[in-house]
Structure 1
């Protein structure tokens, strides 16, 4: 069972925007950075030709997540057509390479033909006018390719969307050398970090001492929205969820940004040094994945699996989870990483678009 399908089955959950990679604001920040970096270029003209009037990369950055449900609003005809033609579209957003590895290799443990690296490659081929049945098996249109590329350029820079954790029967991290070793007896798939649970109360208390608070108006709005949702507070938070959304909030608060556009403006004004990609653009997704593996090692370095527990899904299936311990200063270190990765995502997306349309 694939990761996203398994998560939904085990937890009986309805995914919200906060359960998606980088959250809504994170993806919009990546798109906003790219929007600003391609101003005045041929790439900007070509992007505008594929987008609808009034759309921007920031505004469409969450499209590939919005097609998964109704949390962005009713599904449009365009979304319905895409999901009907791409029944495995949820699997395009990640790969599950053991985080201990240093490189992404095609067909290696944790990879798949429909994973994020392969799907990005297909989108790039379409936008370069090289789409054929072999390079574009999903038959993406140029507009779909741009929407997917914009979103997945954010996803692939979220370290847990590339580097996955596997847990041995002794409770420590394990390195599978073959898929058959992940047998749920001697080695377990932690489902991209979703089965590793942080103490959300403790982590929240630590972050309150380390991360600047939201502006009063924003905090009040968030409280009101939470009250409207009226859900009991969870005592634990999946490690993957923490990296998807919590660190984005922390990163934005640390630089004083209230919106993704502000984050983009602050990031660009600081003139960050972002390593350029090399070689043909078709190979850039592999380079991004390799970089994400290095960052995933940092994400997992101080995160230690503890006592195993058992939970039961709504369907009566029993599965394992592990308490995950992190140091009290983890919010500072992780949000610094998130800031850097969001900036990389925006700069790499812009560079790719300008390479496709020089």
Structure 2
């Protein structure tokens, strides 16, 4: 009963409020696609053995965001134990490779020993049954490794979680060749696009004009596309890619829920390139693909005037106005759809590579 109560509490947490990275809907889409693709397989049996009653990949897909605070609901003991043992857990979600580059390299500019590629690789090793300080420095349990893998397989397909922009003092995108060049004087790090700001009214107007209205949920009347909401007049570029493009992608296929989006995507029989080689190398392949997509995400995007903002703790930092093409919601939402589908298919393929079907006796 205690185990079941924990599962119900987690389930309640995941349906509440928007988290971070792809947002709750985006991560649930990735998880739901994988749930459906591994159904009936040996991999599904292994996944279910690590999940609690009532859980699924879709339902636990936002767990790594929910541990960051209480916006998903009260923290469980499992969550607090994980965050206490992993003080840098919020940095597992991304890497900051200059988006103009073609490949992720260990120890390259913007990378860390605990970034998204390394964290994914460690989770894979743990699920493969490997252990020891060299392959599991964070001492992930198999359940934690599955939770991380489910979430980070989504994050790594969000282009801004891999390909990062860096801005020179002249206000243009540049490629730092060494980490020490990012000094906040000559080259700035706008934190994965969080400090690059879109005109919220303008981008919402474009979305309203170019993207179909959201279909009504059961029992609700249809809402106008781009319905105005109170809030700031600017939107971080990263936030746009975390959540707005997911909303647009769902609207474009008339999906009301992540599960419905997943069903529509699978029914379309998408052509998703297969990964090759050792599964522990797949995160590198995913990161390299994300760099290709990050170039498209930054295409025809230009840097506007710089300004200053003050954080809640009193730190003053630089922000930049960002200019995007008037039709930006169209290509960006198409990219989002493709990346969400890739994330789900790649997660399913990885789980089946970790737990292949047993040989017939």
TM-score (norm 1): 0.91
Paired position in structure 2 for 1:12 = none
- Residue pairs, 1:153-192, within 5 angstroms: 153-192=153-192
| Displaced runs of 4 or more, over 3 A | 16-19, 216-223
Structure 2 spans left out of the alignment, 5+ residues: 1-15, 357-361
Q: Please report how far the alpha carbon of residue 146 of structure 1 lies from its aligned counterpart in structure 2 after TM superposition.
A: 0.3
Give 3-state SS (helix, strand or coil) of 2:192's partner.
Answer: helix
In the alignment, which of 329, 332, 346 is matched to residue 331 of structure 1? 329
CA 1:95 to 1:17, structure 2 compared with 1: closer, same or farther past 3 Å?
A: farther
Paired position in structure 2 for 1:142 = 142
Instruction: Write the distance in 1 (CA, Å) between the matches of 2:230 and 2:53.
Output: 41
Q: Please report how far the alpha carbon of residue 133 of structure 1 lies from its aligned counterpart in structure 2 after TM superposition.
A: 1.5
Paired position in structure 2 for 1:32 = 32
Count of aligned pairs between the two proteins:
338
In the alignment, which of 227, 239, 243 is matched to residue 241 of structure 2? 243
- Residue pairs, 1:184-263, within 5 angstroms: 184-216=184-216, 232-263=230-261
Q: Please report how far the alpha carbon of residue 217 of structure 1 lies from its aligned counterpart in structure 2 after TM superposition.
A: 5.0
Paired position in structure 1 for 2:7 = none
Instruction: Write the distance in 2 (CA, Å) between the matches of 1:286 and 1:263.
Output: 27
Instruction: Write the distance in 2 (CA, Å) between the matches of 1:277 and 1:72.
Output: 33
Q: Please report how far the alpha carbon of residue 192 of structure 1 lies from its aligned counterpart in structure 2 after TM superposition.
A: 0.3
TM-score (norm 2): 0.91
Instruction: Write the distance in 1 (CA, Å) between the matches of 2:319 and 2:221.
Output: 34
Instruction: Write the distance in 1 (CA, Å) between the matches of 2:129 and 2:222.
Output: 45
Stretch of structure 1 that moved more, 152-161 or 131-140 = 131-140
> Is the counterpart of residue 298 in structure 1 residue 296 in structure 2?
yes
Q: Please report how far the alpha carbon of residue 232 of structure 1 lies from its aligned counterpart in structure 2 after TM superposition.
A: 4.3
Paired position in structure 2 for 1:277 = 275
Conserved in 2, the CA contact under 8 Å of 1:252 and 1:263? yes
Paired position in structure 2 for 1:115 = 115
Paired position in structure 2 for 1:287 = 285
Instruction: Write the distance in 2 (CA, Å) between the matches of 1:315 and 1:32.
Output: 38
Instruction: Write the distance in 2 (CA, Å) between the matches of 1:280 and 1:151.
Output: 20
Paired position in structure 2 for 1:7 = none
Instruction: Write the distance in 1 (CA, Å) between the matches of 2:65 and 2:222.
Output: 24
Higher relative contact order (CA 8 A, sep 6+): 1
Conserved in 1, the CA contact under 8 Å of 2:213 and 2:223? no
Q: Please report how far the alpha carbon of residue 100 of structure 1 lies from its aligned counterpart in structure 2 after TM superposition.
A: 0.6
Conserved in 2, the CA contact under 8 Å of 1:122 and 1:131? no
Stretch of structure 1 that moved more, 231-240 or 333-342 = 231-240
Task: Choose between structure 1 and 2: higher helix proportion.
Answer: 1
Structure 1 spans left out of the alignment, 5+ residues: 1-15
